[in-house]
Amino acid sequence: MAHPSFPHILTGTYELIGQMPEVVQNGTLLLDGDDRIVCSNKTIATMLRVNQPLKGMHLTELPSHAHLIELTALIRESGEPQSIESTFPPPYDVTYISGFPYRDNEKAPANSILLIITDMTRLRQLEQAGEEYANNVSHELKTPLTVILGYTETLLSHSSMPKDARQDALKHIERNTLRITRIIDDLLHLAWLKNERKTAARLSRPFTSVEQIVENAVDSCRLWAKDPDIGIITDIQKNLHWNLNAGLMEEAVLNLLKNAMLYALTSPVGVKAFVMDNGNLAIRVSDSGPGLYPEDAQHIFDRFYRADRSRSRSSAGIGGSGLGLPIVHQILEAHDGIARVETSPGNGCTFVLEIPPLKSMTP
């Protein structure tokens, strides 16, 4: 692929090639007319995982050299800049290689070619994640919108519909409208949490009673479930205080309690909080449900991920946004902590929130 925007011949200073890492994070190779390396920088040696000097080596002696040879042949044949996409040893799974005829009247050999190798792996991962995210959001919004449209069309085409049937259709419309609202609100909340993590200094974390946070979450869960006798057993270490954002941590615990009620569908649910041997705070929410398979457990904090459709939120009769656990994960990251799940098929799930103390954790 030619680059018409680049000059036909790239000219420059020979000594700058080896100093390229000081300017950009690209790998660079300067080749002579026989495809031997005249000069290179440290970045390309790292990308190729070569621990010996590259100067004097032929392209065929390098790992992943096939595309490099193909590109240099195209450049010599056309006399113009060319580029190709290639792969290097992990983690450089996607690389973009640009090559130019190079001339430095002072020191560069005749027929020199300059190769610039750019790691595009992270960018490609972000592109794929963005596409997957857009597909997931579209799917999650399309389902309730389809239900709303169906009931709306029914109401419009049946003006003499019985009152009970009409009321039932309106309730379905309301329920699915609320579901869309929850999805949008949670997506905005996730974006806010990510921004707070980037500017951690803005996140207020006063010395707070962990017991009070758990009690508030349990009370909210009982109101949400409309069942004051719902089985939740708490075991909180006495006089346990930690530097936490009380509102966010209460939300995290509440989301885990709701998750247990929605998916495990069994009581009781246990909540335990204590200081671990490593000095970190641990809040554990356990259920006695069917548990998760390993392949599900590793994705359980992904947005919109559903581990077991047989006990999905629709089968429970309650529509969620599919973002409760990702929000928990973001809240923990905002506290410099981690969220994980301990589980196996048939043995329930225990979600663990682990938060290290602040460097100066004082009341």
112 and 159, same domain (yes or no) = no
287 and 177, same domain (yes or no) = no
Domain boundary among 182, 200, 218: 200
Please count the other Cβ atoms lying within 10 Å of the Cβ belonging to residue 49. 12
261 and 245, same domain (yes or no) = yes
Closest CA to 50 of 63, 67, 64: 63
Q: How many domains are contained in the chain?
A: 3
Residues 85-91 have a mean pLDDT of: 83
179 and 107, same domain (yes or no) = no
Full domain range(s) for residue 80: 10-119
Total residue length of the chain: 363
Residues 163-176 have a mean pLDDT of: 88
In a domain, 4, yes or no: no
Q: What is the pLDDT of residue 160?
A: 85
In a domain, 81, yes or no: yes
Q: Determine the Cα–Cα distance for residues 233 and 14; give it in Å rounded to an integer.
A: 72
Q: What is the pLDDT of residue 108?
A: 53
In a domain, 289, yes or no: yes
Q: Could you tell me the two tokens for 116? A: 């610039």
Domain boundary among 62, 93, 119: 119
Closest CA to 96 of 108, 104, 107, 88: 88
In a domain, 325, yes or no: yes
Q: Determine the Cα–Cα distance for residues 251 and 255; give it in Å rounded to an integer.
A: 6
114 and 152, same domain (yes or no) = no
Q: What is the pLDDT of residue 202?
A: 64
pLDDT tens readout for residues 121-162:
888 877 876 776 677 677 677 878 888 999 899 888 888 889
195 and 210, same domain (yes or no) = no
3-state DSSP assignment of residue 98: strand
CATH of the domain at 194: 1.10.287.130
In a domain, 5, yes or no: no
Scanning 112-228, the segments in alpha helix (DSSP H) are 121-157, 163-198, 210-225
pTM, 2 dp: 0.58
In a domain, 330, yes or no: yes
- For the chain, the C-alpha Rg in angstroms (whole number) is 29
pLDDT tens readout for residues 313-356:
444 444 456 678 888 998 898 888 999 999 888 888 999 999 99
* 286 pLDDT more than 60: yes
In a domain, 1, yes or no: no
Own/partner long-range contacts of 33-41 (Cβ < 8 Å, ≥24 apart): 33/109, 33/110, 33/111, 33/112, 34/58, 35/59, 35/60, 35/69, 35/72, 35/113, 38/108, 38/109, 38/112, 39/14, 41/17
343 and 211, same domain (yes or no) = yes
309 and 236, same domain (yes or no) = yes
* 245 pLDDT more than 50: yes
CATH of the domain at 342: 3.30.565.10
Please count the other Cβ atoms lying within 10 Å of the Cβ belonging to residue 80. 17
* More confident of the two residues 277 and 314: 277
211 and 187, same domain (yes or no) = no
Q: Which residues pair with 354 in a beta bridge?
A: 282, 338
Q: What is the pLDDT of residue 274?
A: 96
3-state DSSP assignment of residue 273: strand
341 and 249, same domain (yes or no) = yes
93 and 19, same domain (yes or no) = yes
In a domain, 273, yes or no: yes
Q: What is the pLDDT of residue 22?
A: 45
Domain boundary among 200, 221, 251: 200
356 and 216, same domain (yes or no) = yes
CATH of the domain at 110: 3.30.450.20
3-state DSSP assignment of residue 217: helix
Q: Could you tell me the two tokens for 318? A: 């309650």
